[in-house]
Amino acid sequence: MIIIKLAWRNLWRNVRRTLITISAMSLALGIMILTLSLVEGMHRQMVHYATRLFAGDIQIHKKGYFESKDIYDYLSGGGADILAAVRRPGLHASPRLFGSGLASSGENSTGVMLWGIDPQQERRVTELNSHLLKGGFLTSRSGNEVVLGKMLAESLKVDVGDELVILTQAADGSLGNEIFYVRGVLQSIGDEIDRGAVIMGIDELGKLLVLPDKVHEIAISLNRPEMVDGVQAQLEKILEGKGVEVLTWKEIFPQIKEMLELNQVWMYIMLLIVFGLASLGVLNTMLMALFERTREFGLVMALGLRPLSIVGMILLETLLLSLVSTVVGAAVGIGLSSYLAAHGWDLSRFSEGFSMSGLTVSTTIYAHLSMEGVLASIICMILVSLVAAFYPAIKAARLEPVSALSTVG
C-alpha cells in the first residue's frame, strides 16, 4: 500500500509535466473513443441504408436470379413454402416480384422497373413506407395504386392522384397494359428507386406480368442484423435442395462491404499512430523523471531496495498516470460520442449529400458508442503506456547505487 502512495506522490513531484502527460494521454484516448464511435456509427448508417431501405439483410431467390434478373427465374406458390420454412422469432420476411416496362402519363413516358410488394409484410422488413415525400403508401397486395420515386414522378410530371399507364411485356408474350393511380411519391433515398421504380401490390404486378402467385425475391430483415452471417448459414441449411440462393447484404452490396473493411484497416492504422504518439509522451515523462531522480534511486537502492522493486515502482507510477488519463479521456470521449450519438454531426458544411452504390447517404453522422470499443481503447492505452515505461524502468533498475548517488540532479 505504501508503494502505491509513494508512486502517487512521485507522480506529482513535477505537477506541470504530469499534467501535460495526462492531457496528452487523455486526448489520445478521447479521440480514439470518439473516432471509433463515429466510424461505427457511420458503418451502421451505411448498412442501415443498404438493408433497411429496400434490400433487407438477407435475400432469397431462385438460384441464379440475382445474376440473371430473368423474370422466368421465379419461386412458385407465392414463395409460401420458403416463407414457412424461414419463419422464426426475430426474423421478418416479405415476398417481392419484379418486372420492367414503360410508364406513361400524357405526353411523357419512360422505361421503369416494376416492383410488386406485399405492403403489410414489407413494412416489417424495410422502411420504404416511412420515406414518403407525399401521399400515402400502398395498403394492399392488389389494387391499381402505385408509389414511385421522386425523380421519376418529376420526369413523368405526375403527382399524387394522377393517372399512370403501365405497359409491359408479360411472361406469356402478351402486351400487359393497365391504368394506375399515383398513391404516393418517395423521397430521394437511392438512385434506383428515385429514377425508375414504380411500386405496386405484388398480386397486381403478378396479374400484369401474367406471373400469378410467383415471387422473385424474399427479403428478410433481422432484429439483430449483426447475426446476419449466422442466420444465412442456418437458412442455407434449411433450404438446401430447394434450388434457392441465400444472399446477405454483403453479397448484394459488395462495394459497401469492401468499404467498411477498408475503413476498419484505416482505423487500426490510426489507432497505432495515436497511441504511438501517446506512448512517446509516456516514455518522455518517465525518462525525464528518471534523470531527475537518479540520486533518489541510488539512495533507495543503497538502502536495499531491489532493482525489481524499482521497475515495479516506475511501472506503478505509469499505471497510475494512465488510470488518471483513462478516467479523464474516457469521460471526454464518451461524453462527446454520446452527444454526437444523440444530435449527430452535420457534415453538410463540408460536403453535399453523396451517393454510394446507388444509395443516398445522409450528411449527418450519428456516433454509435460501443462498450467494446471503449474497453479496447482503454486497455490499449494502458498496455501501450506500460510498454513505453519499460525502458526507463529497466534503465533505473540498472543504476549503480554509488555512481547514481554522486550524480548531480
Partner 1 sequence: MKSFIKSIAPFIFVFFLLSTPAFTGEPTAKEILDRIDKMWRGESSSGEVTMEIVTAHWQRSLTMDVWSLGKEYSLVKITAPLKEKGVATLKVEKNIWNYLPKINRVIKIPGSMMMASWMGSHFTNDDLVKESAFVDDYTYRLSFSGLRGGQFIYEIECIPKPEAAVVWGKVVIIVLKEDLIPLKELFYDEDGTLMRTMAFSEVRSFGRRTVPSVTTLVPADKPDELTRITYNRLQFGIDVDKEFFSLRNLKR
Whichever of 167 and 267 has its CB closer to partner 1, that residue is 167
> To the nearest whole angstrom, how small is the minimum distance from the Cβ of residue 57 to partner 1?
32
Is there a contact between 377 and 33 (Cβ–Cβ < 8 Å)? yes
CB-nearer residue toward partner 1: 168 or 326: 168
What is the 8-class DSSP label of residue 243? -
Nearer to partner 1, 205 or 341 (CB): 205
> Least distance (Å) from partner 1 to the CB of residue 342?
45
The nearest distance, CB 38 to partner 1, in angstroms, is 41
Q: How far is the CB of 100 from partner 1 (least distance, A)?
A: 9
Nearer residue to partner 1 within complex by CB, 201 or 298: 201
Q: Which of 46, 43, 55 is nearest to 221 (CA)?
A: 55
What distances in angstroms separate CA 115 from CA 141, 209, 253, one per listed residue? Answer: 12, 11, 19
Nearer to partner 1, 104 or 337 (CB): 104
* 172 or 372: CB nearest partner 1: 172
For residue 316, how many C-alpha atoms fall within 13 Å in the half-sphere facing its CB? 16
For the chain, give the longest Cα–Cα distance.
Answer: 104
Minimum CB distance to partner 1, residue 78 (Å): 20
35 CB-near residues (< 8 Å, 6+ apart): 267, 270
Kindly state the smallest distance separating residue 214's Cβ from partner 1, in Å: 13
Q: How far is the CB of 36 from partner 1 (least distance, A)?
A: 46
Q: What's the closest the beta carbon of residue 143 comes to partner 1, in angstroms?
A: 16
Question: Which residue in 247, 204, 322, 231 sits closest to 62, CA to CA?
Answer: 247
Instruction: Pick the closer one to partner 1 by CB: 177 or 364.
Output: 177
Evaluate whether 115 touches 200 at the Cβ level (below 8 Å): yes
Task: Name 360's Cβ contacts closer than 8 Å, sequence gap at least 6.
Answer: 49, 188, 189, 190, 191, 194, 353, 354
Q: Which is nearer to partner 1, 109 or 234 (CB)?
A: 109
Rounded Cα–Cα distance for residues 211 and 205 (Å): 8
* CB-nearer residue toward partner 1: 89 or 111: 111
What residues make contact with partner 1 under the rule CB under 8 A? Answer: 72, 102, 104, 107-111, 165, 167, 169, 171-175, 177-179
Closest CA to 145 of 163, 123, 132: 163
Least spacing, CB of residue 375 vs partner 1, in Å: 55
The helix or strand, by DSSP H or E, that contains position 198, with its residue range, turns out to be strand 197-201
Characterize 61-86 residue by residue with b for buried, 16 or more Cβ atoms within 10 angstroms of its Cβ, and e for exposed: bbeebbeeeebebbbeebbeebbebb
Q: Which three cell numbers stand for residue 77?
A: 406458390
How far is Cα 226 from Cα 5, in angstroms, rounded to an integer?
Answer: 46
Query: Which residue, 70 or 346, has its beta carbon nearer to partner 1?
Result: 70
Secondary structure letter of residue 366 according to DSSP: P
Cβ(287)–Cβ(369) below 8 Å: no
CB of 112 to partner 1, least distance (A): 10
Backbone angles phi, psi at 95, to 5 degrees: -85, 150
Nearest to 76 by CA among 256, 182, 212: 212
Nearest to partner 1 of 114, 310 (CB atom): 114
For the CB of residue 176, give the shortest distance to partner 1 in the complex, in Å: 10
